[in-house]
Amino acid sequence: MGMLVRRDLAVKYQSSMLGYLWSLIDPLVQALIYWFIFGVLYHRSGDENMLGHAGYPLFIVSGIFAWMWMSAGITESAHALSSQSRLITTMRVHRQIFPISKVFARSVEFLVGIPVVLVFALIFHGYFTWRLIAIPLAMLIQGVLLIGVALILAPLNVLFRDVERMTRLIVRILMYSAPVIYPLARVLGAPGDPSRLPGWFQFLYQCNPLVGIMELQHGAWIAPMFPSAQLVIMSATGSLIVFILGWWVFNRAESAVLKEL
């Protein structure tokens, strides 16, 4: 596993002048774009109450770095088997390690980005309290979810080529179906607000494991955003279900994948 992770990182950046710096530049540029759109052009005064004393740049950066791990993990793990056909058919190893190694490789890039988020927290009035334990907890839940998704997509992408296009669409949908660049309070609304979304929709929205994960990522630095225990449990349970489903799908499809490769 460690060998595959190191190999994946080395191959990804071997022809690049900036090398591993791209793992920081890419999410920072995206964060800058979203900050300009939502924090400047589409600024709404209510966000200050949702974020406490923290600035929107801290909110967006803490969300984007976590999202980039999610996005890259999903996209690259889908090709984990199809791009390693010769290695997979000759090596006597558990073939689950190929998509899982993609998830771990992208987690390294996320870890490299944490000091950048720390700098933003210092500049934009982040909170440095016991809530920082939310970061490893969020990583654990997100890792379990990503591995489950990777184990589903990797074999299906070998058997059905449409999965590649579907994956790109899913990634776009997931980005906006979780509070990555907007506060969760924007979805839940204030009690008594006539424009508030119905309770059943709010419940379904929060069943998305990414909602709890992103709230943990934000809440580590921004105290008003720290999620409830119920939301964290829902996120962890959903991620575990996806992981179990992924393991089952991979085992069921493995023999068919080997024939296809």
For residues 158 and 148, the answer to whether their CB atoms sit within 8 Å is: no
pTM (2 d.p.): 0.81
Position 170 in a domain: yes
Instruction: Determine, yes or no, domain membership for 7.
Output: no
Residue 241 lies in a domain: yes
- Kindly state whether residue 161 falls inside one of the protein's structural domains: yes
Tell me the C-alpha to C-alpha distance, in Å, between residue 77 and each of 74, 128, 163: 5, 34, 12
Interatomic CA distance for residues 56 and 58, integer angstroms: 5
Q: What is the DSSP letter of 221?
A: T
Domain count, the chain: 1
Contacts of 127 (CB under 8 A, 6+ apart): 52, 54, 121, 221, 222, 223
Stated as kind and residue range, the H or E segment containing 51 is helix 47-51
From first to last of its 261 residues, the chain has per-residue pLDDT tens of 555 555 555 555 454 455 556 567 767 776 777 666 665 544 544 455 555 556 778 888 999 999 999 999 999 888 888 777 777 777 777 788 889 988 998 898 899 889 989 999 998 888 888 889 999 999 999 999 999 999 999 999 888 878 888 888 888 888 888 999 888 888 887 666 666 778 888 899 999 999 999 999 999 998 778 899 999 999 999 999 999 999 999 999 988 888 876
Structural domain boundaries, residue 49: 18-260
Rounded CA-CA distance 224/96 in Å is 39
